[in-house]
Homo-oligomer: A and B are copies of this chain.
Amino acid sequence: MLRIQITTGASQPIYRQIVDQVRHAVAAGKVRVGDAMPSVRALATDLVVNPNTIAKAYSALVRDGVIESQQGRGYFIAEPRLIYTHKERKRRLGEVMNPFLAEAISLGFEPQQIIDEVEKRLRKTFSSPEAAPKPKDSAS
């Protein structure tokens, strides 16, 4: 079952923490296509946040094709698919990479250390390689 945890008062907004954790779980193959997400109200109660905050996180996941909503039934893990063009994906990658590298560098990390940490984290996430299905690249 998908376990989500948040820390209030962090620099990252709550809805963003939720989005990232769900994405990670999906990418790591911890959930399967069709699995039900916790209901908006249930997760809100569980995390002690407002249902609207959960709804915002789920909306973001829907727009990126990670989950799908079924009116009156709930949210479910979606079939993976490539939504964005190659160019757009590169653009978005750069947009999140730059602040990350700037922060990493200002923390005093060497370039090689940063690469090592990224590799280490990625290996941990993809510990069971076959679990995470890749979207077909049929649309380039």
Report A's interface with B, CB cutoff 8 A. 9-13, 16, 19-21, 23-24, 26-28, 34, 63-66, 68-72, 76, 80-90, 92-111, 113-115, 117-119, 121-123, 125-126, 129, 132, 134-135, 137-140
A28 contacts across to B, CB distance below 8 A: 105
The answer for the CA separation of A135 and B94 in the assembled complex, in Å, is 20
Number of copies: 4
The answer for the CA separation of A102 and B107 in the assembled complex, in Å, is 21
Does B125 contact A107, Cβ atoms closer than 8 Å?
Answer: no
A114 contacts across to B, CB distance below 8 A: 93, 118, 122
Does B89 contact A101, Cβ atoms closer than 8 Å?
Answer: no
A82 contacts across to B, CB distance below 8 A: 85, 87-88, 108
A64 contacts across to B, CB distance below 8 A: 106
The answer for the CA separation of A31 and B68 in the assembled complex, in Å, is 33
With A88-B81, A102-B23 already in contact, the answer to whether A113 and B97 are too (CB < 8 A) is no
